[in-house]
A and B are shown apart, each in its own frame.
Chain A
Amino acid sequence: MNYIEVQNLVKSFKEKGRAITAVDNISFSVKKGEIFGLLGPNGAGKSTTINILTGLLEKDSGTIKVLGFEPEKNWEYVKNNSNVATAYSWLSDVLTIRQNLRVYAKLYGVKNCEHKINELLEMFELKNVADRKIIRLSSGENTRAVLCKGLINSPKVLFLDECTVGLDPDIADKTRGIIKDYQKKNDCTILFTSHYMYEVEELCDRIAFMSNGKIIRIDTSSNLKKLIKKHTVEIAVKKNIKLLREFLKTEGVDIVFEKDNSIVFEVTTEEDKMYKVISKIFHKGFMLSNLHVKGPTLDDIFIKIARQK
């Protein structure tokens, strides 16, 4: 069953009398228990899509369904069973984290809310600052407080809009762990947006690339990566760098650059070309001091797709 369905969604804004299309006829669906990533640069339309799905923004046209319902017709059910966390909007800054969570727990009708609040504070390592006002928190603590609020009602559908912005790598990693854990335990459906490709790759089952309000492509990260058939290889040799260069030229690979005793080149993975080239290098007796092979990243895919379009 699809827990999120978006069909031909359009949203435009007026700016100085000019209509700017923020979301341009996009369609996608997210299955129950799936983590779906919306990936794209600033202004791609990711947040606008989430704002429409959470009822903060009115669409121009198209249809949306959350938990099987058109939200306009059943906001109460949809909102009670979903939640949102974003790094760009704070909780009430004159209240403490605990006070904010108490308010939101009551808004969502959470039973035994003190227990739930303590559990979340523990999970996000916020217990020692729980009674500190939001305005006195670091941006990382703020982001985690918002995430606590996002999970306060144990949502079936969770919208996470760039929710790890401002977190240090350690906390960001822990946060992704908590999200994955929560999703597994609760079979929660998550719509996740981020600038960070590695994060989307780690968390999401499928990814939609967005650019200029449009969805360019939807697929799994491994399928998307297959779109680029070139790998980057860095080889450092103890001697005979000139011979290696000559050899690579005869093999027809693209040399990206050469520095000191190392050469970086791109080679296709089609017909096992990359493996053949590397094994020939070994067979020719080059004394390697370093060998590093790097596959395409989602960034490379995104740039390729966006430029093609």
Chain B
Amino acid sequence: MKLHRINALLLKYYYITINRVDRLFDIIYWPILDLFIWGFTALFIQKLSDVNVLSMLLGAVILWVFVWRASKDIAVFVLEDFWSRNLYHLFSSPVKLSEHLVSIIIIGFLRALTTFALMWIVGIVFYSFNILTISPLLIAFSVFLLTLFGWAIGLFVAAFIFRFGQRIQVLAWSVTFLISPFACIFYPLSVLPGWAAKIAIVIPPTHVFESFRAMISGTPVNQAGLIYSLISSILLFIVMAFFLEQSFRKSKKTGLLAKGD
């Protein structure tokens, strides 16, 4: 891996971000909109309950951004090269797949941090909710776990794109939505019916959000759950990276990389 090539790709993704209004827009618009919707909903529910609903819901919305951003950015930046038929030039240059991914991961993380910062400020200004007062260490660890899981999902989608081309691009937008009902973002695992709970318990983010809620309500954090989340996210990331590598090789065999469609 060469740093100058990663820098070059970071420059490219920076240019894409500043040149395309929609790419700039999705750092700000949707997350802030989400925060307002959930914020007002939480304010309403707060009046009916003693539980700190506002912190739970707003904190969950802010943390989920990392899964959503991490996965979507990998997939969309890969798709971006398909859309502009630019893969041909990119991969006939000395760029390696690993350098391509590292650059996407870095730019994705920077974009996620920007969104996080904006949501953090909006949370403080409009709802007097400062997520960092909960437990900076737990929040940082949660961000790491959720981002890692998001990257794994992003790699999975990118692998499918390299294998089947743009026709499965809908996955880029839908996979995180598909997972979200089982990730227990806004509600505890205990409310899910048996069959759904069986799925939810194996999904790494479930344990992150369970711990987050425990921290807010002052109950003990399930450390085993967090360790499971860490190990499973790392394993998932490795497996998906391997899957992507295989798909990339396959695209060289089938000619999809050269045709770029």
A89 x B88 contact (CB < 8 A): yes
Which of B15-23, B28-36, B43-51, B63-71 binds A? B15-23
B7 x A106 contact (CB < 8 A): yes
**Shortest beta-carbon distance from A85 to chain B in Å:** 9
Q: Which of B89, B94, B253 contacts A149 (CB 8 A)?
A: B89
1/0 per residue B238-261: CB within 8 Å of A?
000000000001001111011010
Cβ-based interface call for A75 (8 A): yes
**Shortest beta-carbon distance from A120 to chain B in Å:** 15
9 A–B contacts, CB within 8 A, in A order? A51-B255, A58-B249, A88-B88, A95-B19, A96-B19, A103-B15, A106-B11, A107-B4, A107-B5
A92 x B91 contact (CB < 8 A): no
Interface residues of B, Cβ cutoff 8 Å to A: 2, 4-5, 7-9, 11-12, 15-16, 19-20, 80-81, 83-89, 91-95, 249, 252-255, 257-258, 260
Q: Which B residue's beta carbon lies closest to that of A161?
A: B88
CB-CB nearest 6 A-B residue pairs: A106-B8, A89-B88, A93-B84, A79-B94, A56-B258, A51-B258
A92 to B85, CA, bound (A): 7
Question: Which residues of chain B come closer than 8 Å to A54, judged between CB atoms?
Answer: 92
Q: Which B residue's beta carbon lies closest to that of A14?
A: B254
Q: Which of A86, A107, A133, A149 contacts B9 (CB 8 A)?
A: A107
A42 to B84, CA, bound (A): 23
A271 to B19, CA, bound (A): 68
Question: Which residues of chain A come closer than 8 Å to B253, judged between CB atoms?
Answer: 57-58
Question: Which residues of chain B come closer than 8 Å to A95, judged between CB atoms?
Answer: 12, 15-16, 19
A94 x B84 contact (CB < 8 A): yes
Query: A-B contact count, CB below 8 Å?
Result: 107
Question: Which residues of chain B come closer than 8 Å to A102, judged between CB atoms?
Answer: 11
A55 x B92 contact (CB < 8 A): yes
A91 to B197, CA, bound (A): 47
B94 x A56 contact (CB < 8 A): no
**Shortest beta-carbon distance from B256 to chain A in Å:** 10
**Shortest beta-carbon distance from A177 to chain B in Å:** 24
Given A89-B88, A99-B12, 10 additional A-B pairs, CB 8 A: A75-B94, A86-B88, A89-B87, A95-B15, A103-B12, A104-B8, A107-B4, A108-B94, A109-B4, A146-B89
Cβ-based interface call for A154 (8 A): no
Question: Which residues of chain B come closer than 8 Å to A83, judged between CB atoms?
Answer: 92-93
**Shortest beta-carbon distance from B150 to chain A in Å:** 24
A92 x B8 contact (CB < 8 A): no
A92 x B94 contact (CB < 8 A): no
Cβ-based interface call for A80 (8 A): yes
Interface residues of A in 83-124 (CB under 8 A from B): 83-84, 86, 88-96, 99, 102-109
B4, B8, B11, B94, most chain A CB atoms within 10 A: B94
Cβ-based interface call for A163 (8 A): no
Q: Which B residue's beta carbon lies closest to that of A133?
A: B19
B258 x A57 contact (CB < 8 A): yes
A47 to B259, CA, bound (A): 10
Question: Which residues of chain B come closer than 8 Å to A146, judged between CB atoms?
Answer: 89
1/0 per residue A47-63: CB within 8 Å of B?
11001001111100000
Q: Which of A56, A93, A108 contacts B88 (CB 8 A)?
A: A56
Cβ-based interface call for A44 (8 A): no
